[in-house]
Chain A
Amino acid sequence: MAERHSGRVYFTLVRHFFNQFLQNETIAFQDQQRDKIVTSLILVSFCGALIPFVRLFPRFLLESDSARTWVEKCLFIAIIMLVMAILSVLEWDSFFLSRQDFLNLGYLPVPGILVLAAKLTAILAFVTIFCLGAAVLSGFVYTVMLTHKLGSLLFSSRYFLIHLLVLFLSSLFVFFLCAFIQSVFLCLLPPSVFRRISAYIQSGWVLLILVLFVRINDIFFLYPGWLENSDPRAVYSPFLWFTALYEIGIGRSTPFYQKLAGTGLTVLVILMLSYFLVAMIGYRRHFFREGEAGERVRRAGVFQSIWDSVFHRHPHSRGLHLFVKTTVKRSQMHRRQIGAFLAVGSGAAILIFLFLKQAPGDAFMSIYGFAPLHLLFWSALLAVRSAVVLPVAGEANWIFRLMADESPSFYRGVSMKIVWLRFFLPVCGIGILCYGFLWNWGLAIKHTLFALSLASLILACAFWRFRKIPFTCEYMPGKANLKALVVPYLLGFAAVMYLVIFFESRLIFFAWRWLIAVLVLGGLAGLMVWKSRRISQEELKFFEESDPAMLSLGFDSF
């Protein structure tokens, strides 16, 4: 009886932790979440099947599988591992049992070991679902394409099962590797410092994965030589570990493959054990830390005081700045949103830089060399603009009580100031430094000022008639479902970007032209800000408006 109850408790916990991977603090429309999962799985399945199909068809209609096909498998495993890595980084905050888990489950009659086991099972379930999505259709394509000439159903089944198993193990490896890296940071850094820099580590990870994605061909260029000569460097490549396992599974075992596969499995076991250990210690640590004084309130330092007295003289401005700062620091959803945009922007900027660096001649001085900084500014702007409309938890809306009587232009002004100071200024610093070393300091400053004045104008446009207190409006379903517009947006973005860098390249080498352009852009931005302060009879907006489609369906009233 007790065992049956334990089983029920265990499965309740597993379901609970699994849902944590899918939900977030802000919006939890379960139907939307499930739809998202199903859509993602279909997408992963379809893309997963498309890659082997493109690689294998029609060549392997005529020839049968051979030892040379390891490349096809290795490429597919690498892509799945990188996708899983991105997924894992996005789930960064759900790797370990949190203090919230402890406070909610700690006083219930549930043993800690059961909680831990349930968490581990939820992780396995999460990875399994992703793997099934990625592996079933692709496995079918591999099996049919590579074994149809052999005519053995038994061998084909074995091929298919090995495909599933290898992808599952490789995804598991990636997940636990990400968890291991996080646990290293958790061990090395105090919790408060880790929380503060966690979003940056996440962004760095995404950036690294994106670069790996694009440079995957360079890595694959080295592999044939390594495998042919049993090069010891191959032992350090996780992609090869699991490819070797695949080859062994389908009966192409060699001593070198055995060595590679053995390394892979050993590392996987070590990573899983270390995860279990860290999770257990972490959960126990909450137990022993619980009674201690909570997070200490840090006194504002000298720098903060100077910063406030210069940029946030009005107390409400300081209040809003604090609200924005703490929201970004504490809300996983907002950090993820901003981090994703910044990572994509930085990744794109670095990739352009790398391509130009490898291109023949002085390509970096071509018009495309102007693009990376604009991309950085715009990704920062998009990150903030997309995050400020997402509401934070209800109790955080103390900001309403504090200053709901201010006019919308006040919030607009302070929001823009925050974007300018916290996002644009650091990007300026990066721009001047990078371009200063690559070009010359004068040109770097001119380019940065031009990009800044343009970004300021776009900022003024983005916040034109913005009537909300950032992070507070009620969210209406259906608002973010305009996925059909993604392609035209991207095309438009590329066209505008090309026009900008084209014009900039025509202006920047002529002092007067450049100065006039910067003054015009800056002046327009200033004019828009000034004009927006004079909009009369404006009221603060507390509720999000539904999409027209939602209104026509009568879904706007809840």
Chain B
Amino acid sequence: MLEIRGLKKNYGQFQALKGIDFSVQPGEVLGYLGPNGAGKSTTVKILTGLLPASGGEIHFNGRNVRKDIRPFQRVLGYVPEQADIYQHMSAYEYLMLTGRLRRLPETTLKKRVNRFLQLFHLDFFANSVLSSFSKGMRQKVLLIAALLHDPDVIILDEPLSGLDTSMVMVVRHLIQELALQGKTIFFSSHTLDEVEKICSRVLILFQGAIVAHDSVAHLRQILSAPSLEEVFRQLVIQEDPRTTAQAIASVLRTGEC
């Protein structure tokens, strides 16, 4: 089980995370939602070890991750939001590098990389450099890299961005399948429809604090909302989207600045 207790992050005077608590059980997919700047990416980066926390605790299966993050990183699969991958490498080289650094046996790694490339329809482009890949293709490479070592915890930060519709459906089913296998999945996204379809529970973050943490059905029931989007609108969105849209359109129409 992944447990976060009183997690804080400060940037100077600014509090990006104000002591959040939550836990994710094995076999569960937790949807992590929030508007831009709410602290989602900060949480993800702290969990993956890319950013130090200012306070709080992270425990995985009872062990303090902040004290020694390496064992946790060994069982962690991570798909970052913005892929700053090595442009000069081919997809195959990149995956082999990741697999080797994750200490996978060479034969298993080769077989797994080839099979995954085939399943993600990248086998034809396996030896093309990543600089020539579209965003969606890169996203597939990152997904493969996150799954190569059969991780226990999977952190997905906008994993569906750039993917075509059929691949979105594949990934959606894949996440559910992985949850059934007992993986702990942390799914951070802006796509509310997908979160509603995939996640068993959602956590909504606003200005560094948790404003909701429950199952989608229960949240909808409490707030009498027909969809997760409406729940999100009631909890987080402070201005009427229709009014903002009309204001933008009127700028274009009238040419006012």
Residues in A lying within 8 Å of B, measured CB to CB:
5, 8-9, 12-13, 16, 20, 23-26, 28, 99-100, 102-111, 287-288, 290-292, 393-395
Do the beta carbons of A28 and B103 come within 8 Å of each other?
no
A-B residue pairs in contact (CB < 8 Å), sample of 7? A9-B100, A12-B100, A12-B101, A25-B87, A107-B76, A109-B101, A287-B51
CB <8 Å contact, B129 and A103: no
Q: Known contacts A9-B101, A106-B50, A107-B48; is A100 also within 8 Å of B73 by CB?
A: no
A107-B78, A109-B74 given; A290·B97 CB < 8 A? no
Q: Nearest Cβ distance between residue B100 and chain A, in whole angstroms?
A: 4
- Contact (A28, B129) CB under 8 Å given A108-B101, A291-B11, A395-B135: yes
What's the Cα separation between A393 and B50 when bound, in Å?
A: 25
Q: Quick check: is B107 within 8 A (CB to CB) of the other chain?
A: no
Q: A9-B100, A13-B101, A292-B11 are in contact. Are A28 and B88 (CB under 8 A)?
A: yes
Q: CB within 8 Å of A: which residues of B?
A: 9, 11, 16, 41-42, 45-46, 48-52, 70-71, 73-74, 76, 78, 80, 84-90, 97-98, 100-103, 129, 131-135
CB distance from B109 to the nearest CB of A (A): 11
Could you tell me if A100 and B86 are in contact, using CB atoms closer than 8 angstroms? yes
Q: Name the contact of A394 in the complex, choosing from B73, B103, B131 (C-beta under 8 A).
A: B131
- Per a CB cutoff under 8 Å, which of B45, B89, B101, B134 touches A290? B45
**Are the CB atoms of B131 and A25 closer together than 8 Å?**
yes
A292 to B90, CA, bound (A): 30
The 10 closest A-B pairs by CB, nearest first: A109-B73, A107-B48, A393-B131, A12-B100, A23-B88, A291-B51, A28-B88, A109-B74, A5-B103, A103-B84
- Distance from A300 Cβ to chain B, minimum over Cβ atoms (Å): 15
Report how far A547 CA is from B164 CA in the complex, Å.
36
Q: From B101, which residue of chain A is reached at the shortest CB distance?
A: A108
A108 touches B73 (CB 8 A): yes
Identify which of B9, B49, B71, B86 gathers the most chain A CB atoms within 10 Å of its CB.
Answer: B86
Question: Which label, helix, strand, loop or mixed, suits the secondary structure of the B interface?
Answer: mixed
Among B46, B90, B129, find the residue whose CB has the most chain A CB atoms closer than 10 A.
Answer: B129
Chain A residue contacts of B89, Cβ below 8 A = 28
Bound CA span A5–B99, Å = 12
Taking the closest CB of chain B, its distance from the CB of A517, in whole angstroms, is 46
Q: How far is the CA of A290 from the CA of B81 in the complex (A)?
A: 13
| B49 nearest CB neighbor, chain A only | A107
B88, A24: Cβ atoms closer than 8 Å: yes
Please state if A104 and B48 are interface contacts (CB–CB under 8 Å): no
Contact B103 A9 (CB under 8 A): yes
- Additional 10 contacts, C-beta under 8 A, given A23-B88, A102-B50, A107-B80: A5-B103, A108-B102, A110-B101, A287-B52, A290-B45, A290-B51, A291-B41, A291-B46, A291-B51, A393-B87
Provide the bound-state CA to CA distance between A64 and B25, in Å.
81
For A26, A109, A287, the residue with the greatest tally of chain B CB atoms inside 10 Å of its CB is A109
Establish whether residues B86 and A287, one from each chain, have CB atoms under 8 Å apart when the complex forms.
no
* Residue on A nearest B78 in the bound complex, by CB: A107
Q: A99-B84, A105-B101, A107-B49 are in contact. Are A291 and B9 (CB under 8 A)?
A: yes
**Docked complex Cα distance between A377 and B121 (Å):** 49
Contact A111 B11 (CB under 8 A): no
Closest chain-B Cβ to A30's Cβ sits at a distance in Å of 9
Give, as a whole number of angstroms, the nearest-CB distance from A5 to chain B: 5
Bound: A5/B132 CA distance, A: 33
**Which B residue's beta carbon lies closest to that of A33?**
B88
In the assembled complex, the Cα of A394 lies from the Cα of B80 at a distance in Å of: 19
A289 to chain B: closest residue by CB: B51
Residue of A nearest to B74 (CB): A109
Chain A minimum-CB-distance residue to B69: A109
Which of chain B's residues have a CB closer than 8 A to the CB of A28? Answer: 88-90, 129, 131
Complex Cα distance A554/B52, Å? Answer: 54
**Which residue on chain B has the smallest CB distance to residue A105?**
B101
- Whose C-beta in chain A lies nearest to the C-beta of B72? A109
Determine whether the beta carbon of B133 is less than 8 Å from that of A291. Answer: no
Q: A104 to B49, alpha carbons, bound, how many Å?
A: 12
Closest to A6 in B: B103
B88 partner, pick from A8, A25, A102, A109, beta carbons under 8 A: A25
Contact B98–A107 (Cβ < 8 Å): no
CB-CB under 8 A from B52, the residues of chain A are: 287-288
Min CB distance B245 to A, Å, is 23
Q: Are A104 and B50 also in contact (CB < 8 A) when A5-B103, A109-B74 are?
A: no
Q: Which residues of B contact A99 (CB under 8 A)?
A: 84
**Distance (Å) between the CB of A374 and the closest chain B CB?**
37
Task: Give every chain B residue within 8 A of A394 (Cβ-Cβ).
Answer: 131-134
With A99-B84, A100-B86, A291-B11 known as contacts, the answer to whether A111 contacts B70 (CB < 8 A) is yes
What chain A residues lie within 8 Å of B101 (beta carbons)?
9, 12-13, 105, 108-110
* CB-defined contacts of A109 to chain B, threshold 8 Å: 70-71, 73-74, 101-103
CA A102 to CA B48, docked complex, whole Å: 12
Separation of A395 and B50 alpha carbons in the complex (Å): 25
Instruction: Chain B residues near A104: list those with CB within 8 A.
Output: 84-86
CA–CA, A276 to B70, complex, Å? 23
Query: Could you tell me the distance between the alpha carbons of A8 and B106 in the complex, rounded to whole angstroms?
Result: 10
Please, which residue of chain A has its CB at the minimum distance from the CB of B131? A393
